[in-house]
A and B are shown apart, each in its own frame.
Chain A
Amino acid sequence: MSDAETPADTTNPNVAQDDFEPVQVFPEAEEMDLRPGADNCYKCTTCDSACPVAEVDDEFPGPKFQGPEQWRLKRKEDEDIDASVMDCSNCMRCDNACPSSVPLSQMHNTARGEFVDEQMEKLSREYIRNRLLANYRTMAELGSKAPRLTNFVMGLGATKLFNEKVLGVTSEREFPEFAEQTFRGWWNERGGPQVRSEDKRVAYFHGCYSNYNTPEVGKAMVRVFEEFEYEVVVPKQRCSGTPMFANGMLDDAKRAAGINVDTFSGLIADGYDVIASCTSCSMSLKQEYPELFDLEGIEDVSAHTYEAMEYLRIHEDLQGALADSEVAGQTYAYHAPCHARNQGLDRQAVELFRDVDGVEIEDVGPSCSGISGTYGWKSEKYETSMKIGEEMFEHMHHASGNVGMTECPTCSMQMEHGTGYEIRHPLQVLEEALA
């Protein structure tokens, strides 16, 4: 279908589809009818050409197969879900690429859930490992009780060997260190909010990583928002569910989502908006929850969730506030996480810091970092993950800066792993600039 060839597209122009009969695809997902989405696919393969896994792994059939094609196969006869759905990293790039708005990642998430529920051996090493990785928060909570001990144990060769051989968690990677004090610990110690306001209020969804591993990101977020005179609250919360979707653990994800939606929708009623500093967390609350679960209040939470910097750009004159600021000279190699890209936030950091004195910032290109949360931690995926990341590493090396910047905690692990650079979150630089 290129007008390089045919004189004109003579098909009916976008005339609305006939009314369709809803058909049940995935039996356990009662409200889910993806038929209209599947029908929208006109097999242009744009999604396939955007998939980072398909680009390096010849065995992976690609998003078009995982989504609309598998859907059709399943409808015709009672086919099993193809095991390759576990090779999808849930980067959601295909979603963004599809010109016809086929809900690809929703289809993948649903198919993965069914595969894990019905076809995966619950005592298999893979299942157990995936379940552990997906429930990172539970492990982290234990680990952070004695951070120094945990850091020491995790760094031991014997532990790595055990992880590799018994669990299938790669020994190539360094476990992220647990902070001496969690973000919540710091928050409680400082006595909660330092600013009170009736009309400028945000509820912070810190996610697991900034709580247990990089509390400095959470602290920066709080200080920046308080600088703009926001009342910040930090309600009790669970994991956003991102690692659970990616591992097909939909029941776990639904439990966590239920708790999060319950807490945050209550706060929205009191005039709070929800802010996240991790782009996978904001993606999850905003898109995956309403796509996958039918929860009371979810539409509200989705509509009121923002990425932190995005929120300031919409509601404050951030550019103006930064006009006269200056920071200690630093050149950054910025990588936009896939989940920022999919929300249309991939350029905001570069755009904003370009005008700040002292900051040089260079976008290292549109490639995927390759780690995709828990994906790159699996022994059998490690190599794929590094092959995907190669392009980013190369661009980082070519960039003039040797400090990296990104919004996503696992992208930042991958960036550090591949280049040895220190990595910062835009909020940390924003904090420095506003100070």
Chain B
Amino acid sequence: MPIRENVIVVGGGLTGSIAALSAAETGASVRLVSYKKSTLRFASGLVDVLGYPNGDGPVSDPFAALSSLPDDHPYSLVGEGAIRDGLSLFDEVTGDGYRGSHTDANALVPTYGGTVKPTARYPTASAAGLASDARSMLVVGFRSLTDFDARLVSDHLEAAGVPFDVRGAELSFPKEYRADAKVTRFAKALDTDEEIRFAGRSVGMREAVAETVKPRLKGAERVGFPSFLGDEHASEVRTDLESQLGAEVFEIPMGPPSFPGLRLEDALFAALDDAGVRISSGNPVVDYEADGDRLQAVYVDRKRTRVPYHADEFVLATGGLVGKGIDSDRSRVREPIFGSYVPHPSDRYDWFDTDAFGDHPFAKFGVVVDDEMRVVGVENSPRFSNLRAAGAVVGGADGAAEKSSSGISLATGVVAGRGAGASI
């Protein structure tokens, strides 16, 4: 019999990657099976642990706020140690690509809407932009890039009372691209330092961008760009711009496609490769085979063909409503692969709060797990003895509102992955 592993992790987002790495650390053979590209492509690349517990905040120390969380919150189940373990694995994987490990306190990172976000880990590319820093700031945007409005960012930051001077400038990108040019075009041009005609000369794109920004600098000590400063050679692009501008350069995380998210995905996949984790991506898991209370295999749908993947232990890391790990129709909410129990009010109108920004039950929908992340049923007993779940597919937290999504992914991913690996 063919494709067999000790541990199979279903889902290739932050959670699946961390769970697979943790399982591999125990010496188990591990395969990650994932469908589409994960939500990392949309995500900011910021790693939040906890910013707004129970709707309050922002809090400066996420660890101090843990005790205020309800008992069925994933953090309450796994405990502070697991969160720290998750973060240190993350730090190991991302190396000098990320900052924030020097302190327990949340960093305050400006976002493309001009708000300031409390987060535990942030890309090194964003480091010079922290809102706690008093140096004067220029935010630049480019006219052809309609999603990012530099003046709006600076106005919002100012209104938020940041302790520094901030100005915004909308510039023309030195090369004309079509009106709806993709950020990938800008990133690639900077990455390869494309030669262009600029002010009557032939120069590299990086120099041309620096020259465009210079007249607006007016003494600002740091300059924030939308997060498209290169892809493969991102840190080189930043260093080049810094030396030409004589000011620090940083990126402000923005919407999809998100380069910080993509770069994080690359780092995670490189780590998986190094750890010898096998990866099959592009096709969804749709079904399973079980013998009594033990799962034997999951079935991957290869466009009308069902391919079995066998293992001793399984981890479900398929994400929440956005990642499609949880599915809903008009009458019920379900976890589509195993049909695991997802508690929810039977009346659909109770899934939402009437206030758009209220406390929405649907945001907390997810499967129920015990403290080892085993998926349990209505009776609180494990459905399958060898099925664990982690990340956004687990219920009990509104990660987006609490600003805790990535932290939950890391903490529960480590517990589920390690547990699966240790049970072999």
Enumerate chain A interface residues (CB-CB to B < 8 A): 1-10, 12-16, 44-46, 48-49, 54-55, 58-59, 61-62, 96-99, 101, 286-287, 290, 299, 302-306, 313-318, 341-348, 351
1/0 contact string of B15-45 vs chain A (CB within 8 Å): 0000000000000000000001101011110
Evaluate contact between B112 and A5: CB separation under 8 angstroms: yes
Q: Is B281's CB within 8 Å of the partner chain A?
A: yes
Q: Is B305's CB within 8 Å of the partner chain A?
A: yes
Closest A residue, CB atoms, query B321: A13
- CB-defined A-B contacts under 8 Å, sample of 25: A3-B400, A5-B112, A6-B400, A7-B401, A8-B401, A10-B356, A13-B351, A13-B362, A14-B324, A15-B329, A44-B256, A45-B256, A45-B257, A46-B41, A49-B257, A55-B188, A58-B185, A97-B37, A99-B41, A101-B36, A290-B304, A316-B2, A344-B280, A346-B281, A347-B280
Evaluate contact between A8 and B357: CB separation under 8 angstroms: yes
- Beyond A15-B328, A299-B304, A302-B304, is A3–B44 a contact (Cβ under 8 Å)? yes
Evaluate contact between A8 and B178: CB separation under 8 angstroms: no
Evaluate contact between A8 and B36: CB separation under 8 angstroms: no
Evaluate contact between A9 and B400: CB separation under 8 angstroms: yes
Q: Is B283's CB within 8 Å of the partner chain A?
A: yes
Q: Is B111's CB within 8 Å of the partner chain A?
A: yes
Closest CB of chain A to B20's CB: distance in Å? 14
Q: Is B294's CB within 8 Å of the partner chain A?
A: no
Evaluate contact between B302 and A343: CB separation under 8 angstroms: yes
- Beyond A2-B42, A14-B327, is A46–B256 a contact (Cβ under 8 Å)? yes
Evaluate contact between B401 and A341: CB separation under 8 angstroms: no
Closest B residue, CB atoms, query A351: B278
CA of A10 to CA of B360, assembled, Å: 8
Interface residues of B in 323-375 (CB under 8 A from A): 324, 327-330, 351-352, 356-357, 360, 362-363, 365
Which of B43, B182, B321, B365 has the most chain A CB within a 10 Å cutoff? B182
Closest A residue, CB atoms, query B262: A49
Q: Is B183's CB within 8 Å of the partner chain A?
A: yes
Residues of B close to A10: CB separation below 8 A: 356-357, 360
Residues of B close to A97: CB separation below 8 A: 36-37
1/0 contact string of B210-234 vs chain A (CB within 8 Å): 0000000000000000000000000
Interface size on B, residues (CB 8 A): 66
Evaluate contact between A343 and B303: CB separation under 8 angstroms: yes
CA of A299 to CA of B282, assembled, Å: 20
Q: Is B6's CB within 8 Å of the partner chain A?
A: no
Residues of A close to B117: CB separation below 8 A: 4
- Secondary structure at the A interface, as helix, strand, loop or mixed, is loop
Closest CB of chain A to B259's CB: distance in Å? 10
Closest CB of chain B to A14's CB: distance in Å? 5
- Secondary structure at the B interface, as helix, strand, loop or mixed, is loop
What are the 6 A-B residue pairs with the smallest beta carbon separation, nearest first? A344-B282, A4-B44, A303-B304, A49-B257, A5-B113, A3-B400
Evaluate contact between B328 and A14: CB separation under 8 angstroms: yes
Q: Is B254's CB within 8 Å of the partner chain A?
A: yes
Closest CB of chain B to A355's CB: distance in Å? 10
Evaluate contact between B184 and A55: CB separation under 8 angstroms: yes
Closest CB of chain A to B151's CB: distance in Å? 17
CA of A264 to CA of B183, assembled, Å: 45
Evaluate contact between B2 and A313: CB separation under 8 angstroms: yes
Residues of B close to A3: CB separation below 8 A: 43-44, 399-400, 403, 405
CA of A193 to CA of B6, assembled, Å: 38
Evaluate contact between B304 and A286: CB separation under 8 angstroms: yes
Q: Which residue of the partner chain, among B184, B278, B324, contacts A49 with CB atoms under 8 Å?
A: B184
1/0 contact string of B38-63 vs chain A (CB within 8 Å): 01011110100000100000000000
Enumerate chain B interface residues (CB-CB to A < 8 A): 1-3, 36-37, 39, 41-44, 46, 52, 111-113, 115, 117, 177-178, 180-185, 188, 253-258, 278-283, 300, 302-305, 307-308, 321-322, 324, 327-330, 351-352, 356-357, 360, 362-363, 365, 398-401, 403, 405
Closest A residue, CB atoms, query B331: A16
Which of B36, B46, B253, B398 has the most chain A CB within a 10 Å cutoff? B36
CA of A348 to CA of B300, assembled, Å: 15
Evaluate contact between B181 and A58: CB separation under 8 angstroms: yes
Residues of B close to A318: CB separation below 8 A: 2
Residues of B close to A16: CB separation below 8 A: 329-330
Which of B115, B184, B329 has the most chain A CB within a 10 Å cutoff? B184
- Beyond A10-B360, A344-B280, is A2–B258 a contact (Cβ under 8 Å)? yes
CA of A343 to CA of B281, assembled, Å: 9
CA of A6 to CA of B256, assembled, Å: 14
Residues of A close to B304: CB separation below 8 A: 286, 290, 299, 302-303
Q: A2-B43, A5-B113, A97-B36 are in contact. List 14 more A-B contacts (CB 8 A).
A: A2-B258, A4-B44, A4-B112, A4-B113, A6-B113, A7-B52, A7-B357, A7-B400, A10-B356, A13-B362, A15-B329, A46-B37, A55-B188, A314-B307
Evaluate contact between A13 and B42: CB separation under 8 angstroms: no
Residues of B close to A4: CB separation below 8 A: 43-44, 46, 111-113, 117, 253-255
Which of B52, B329, B365, B400 has the most chain A CB within a 10 Å cutoff? B400
Evaluate contact between A44 and B42: CB separation under 8 angstroms: yes
CA of A304 to CA of B2, assembled, Å: 17
Residues of A close to B322: CB separation below 8 A: 9
Residues of A close to B405: CB separation below 8 A: 3
Evaluate contact between B37 and A8: CB separation under 8 angstroms: no
